[in-house]
Amino acid sequence: MKKVLMITTGGTVAGMNSGFGLVPSMAGEKLKPNIEGIDVTVLDLFSIDSCDIMPVHWRRMYNAINDNLPDYDGIVILHGTDTMAYTGAVLAFTVDTDKPVILTGSMLPPDAPDNDVAQNIEQATRIAAGDEYKGVYLVFAGRVINGGDIVKISSCEKDAFRSYSGFVPKKKYSFPARNGLFPAVIRLTPFTYGLDIMSIAQDRAGIVMETYGAGGIPDNEITLVLAELSKSMPVVITTSCFGGTDLFRYEVGRRALDVGAVDADKRSTECAAVEMWLSVNQK
């Protein structure tokens, strides 16, 4: 019989109505699937809305995975959807295993009519017990997405996630001994000023700037600010557009390269931010 550990962390998948909105409070035993040939053990790690996820929670997940994985064929992690992309990237870059570590959750709570809780948990558990997928993945609404390539595209549809570009993390990082420095994630808009960026960059690990289209920066004081910042910290250019950046395509992209910025290429903004945090805080 296959053995799967189901780690719960909260989220809508464990949500119950408090009278003031959904609160993750359902114990994992009530969400545990009953699948022939698979023995599921539950570990209730914590129970929070994923909006509250911080590096301290990633550390607890990482430790729970490494401590328990030798005793199981795979692991399922129940997680809220809002920060799923960040958690997926953290685990994809740090968990080094040839066993499946499967993230899942739901868009509707367990007591909602026609909810997606049981369907997602069952599929995630079957994949965690199987041999096809090795490493960190999201299983959601019938999709299987690499943990470093997750993008949430809807706040209401059950089929809420997509693969950003097909990116698969190759490099592994040690989980930081301490939280260390955090990256500043900035979205470029026509209302963004260089002074805004300079202010946000203080005491940060670096800048991840989500730009337009294939990526690029405007010909104004932002260029000067990024040129100065890139002398002392990494500056990575990403885009919200599926498929990633190509800073060689347009002059505005080459401008970013000329001032010392780095092309995120196939990495989503979430993935680039996570990798910057990990790389800057290595021992």
CB 245 within 8 A of CB 265: yes
Shared domain check, 144 and 16: yes
Residue where the block lists tokens 């795979």: 74
Distance, CA of 139 to CA of 117 (rounded, Å): 12
CB 139 within 8 A of CB 102: yes
Within a domain: 169: no
Distance, CA of 56 to CA of 34 (rounded, Å): 31
> The domain that contains 258 carries what CATH number?
3.40.50.40
The residue with greater pLDDT, 223 or 179, is 223
pTM: 0.96
Shared domain check, 144 and 216: no
Shared domain check, 158 and 194: no
Per-residue pLDDT tens digits for 247-279:
999 999 999 999 999 999 999 999 999 999 999
Shared domain check, 190 and 152: no
Per-residue pLDDT tens digits for 94-124:
999 999 999 999 999 999 999 999 999 999 9
Within a domain: 132: yes
Shared domain check, 107 and 60: yes
Across the chain, mean pLDDT equals 96
Say whether 57 sits in a helix, a strand or coil. helix
For the chain, the residue count is 283
Give the confidence band of 22 by pLDDT, cuts at 50, 70, 90. Answer: confident
Phi, psi angle pair for 211, to nearest 5°: -110, -165
Within a domain: 177: no
Distance, CA of 134 to CA of 70 (rounded, Å): 14
Q: Is the pLDDT of residue 283 over 80?
A: no
End-of-domain residue from the set 134, 163, 192: 163
Looking at residue 131, its pLDDT comes to 95
CB 114 within 8 A of CB 108: yes
Distance, CA of 234 to CA of 251 (rounded, Å): 21
> The domain that contains 157 carries what CATH number?
3.40.50.1170
Shared domain check, 123 and 35: yes
- Domain span at residue 134 reads 2-163
Q: How many CB atoms lie within 10 A of CB 39?
A: 13
Shared domain check, 132 and 19: yes
- Provide the number of structural domains found in the chain: 2
Shared domain check, 191 and 98: no
Q: Is the pLDDT of residue 282 over 90?
A: yes
Q: Find, among 91, 24, 100, the residue nearest to 57 by Cα.
A: 91
